[in-house]
Amino acid sequence: MFVQGDPPEAVYCILSGRVEITTTAADGRVRLLAMVAAAALVGELAVLGDMPRSGSAICVADTTAWAVDGQRFRRFVDHHPPVALALLCSLSRPVVAQNGLVDDMLFLDLRGRVAKRLLVNTLRRFAGL
C-alpha cells in the first residue's frame, strides 16, 4: 500500500483482508508494529501530521481497501468535529499502551515484566477479552 518514507498521499480504510504495518531500521532490521484487518484505517497519522510515512503497509492476504485522498481526508476531519474527536480517541490508545511498555522497561526487571504479562493475559482470558 505504501512504503516507509513515502509522501502521505492517501488514507486507506481496510474493507477485508490483512495488512502488516512495519518499520525498518537503518541496519535493515524490520519490526512488526501492527496487524490490521477490516474496519481499520491505515496511513492516517502521516496524512494528519503532514509527514512522510513512518512505516510500511504491506498486504499479507487478499485485501480490499478504500483509498481517500489525503487532502480530502483532512478537509473532512476539519469540517466534522465528531470525526476529529473519534480519531483523537483512537490514536490516543496506542500512545497510552506504548507509555505503559516504556514504564515497564524502565521500572520492572525481567522477572517483573514476565509476571505482569502473565497476569494481564490471565485476567483478559477470565474477562473474555
pLDDT tens across the length of the chain (129 residues): 999 999 999 999 999 999 999 999 999 999 999 999 999 999 999 999 999 999 999 999 999 999 999 999 999 999 999 999 999 999 999 889 888 888 998 999 999 999 998 998 898 888 875
User: What is the predicted pLDDT for the residue at 46?
Assistant: 97
CA distances from 32 to 22, 23, 54 (A): 5, 7, 12
Q: How far is residue 102's CA from residue 94's CA, in Å, rounded to a whole number?
A: 12
User: What is the predicted pLDDT for the residue at 51?
Assistant: 97
What pTM value is reported for the model?
0.79
Position 83, amino acid: V
Q: Which CATH code of 3.90.180.10, 2.60.40.10, 2.60.120.10, 3.40.50.720 fits the domain covering 10-127?
A: 2.60.120.10
Q: How far is residue 97's CA from residue 68's CA, in Å, rounded to a whole number?
A: 28
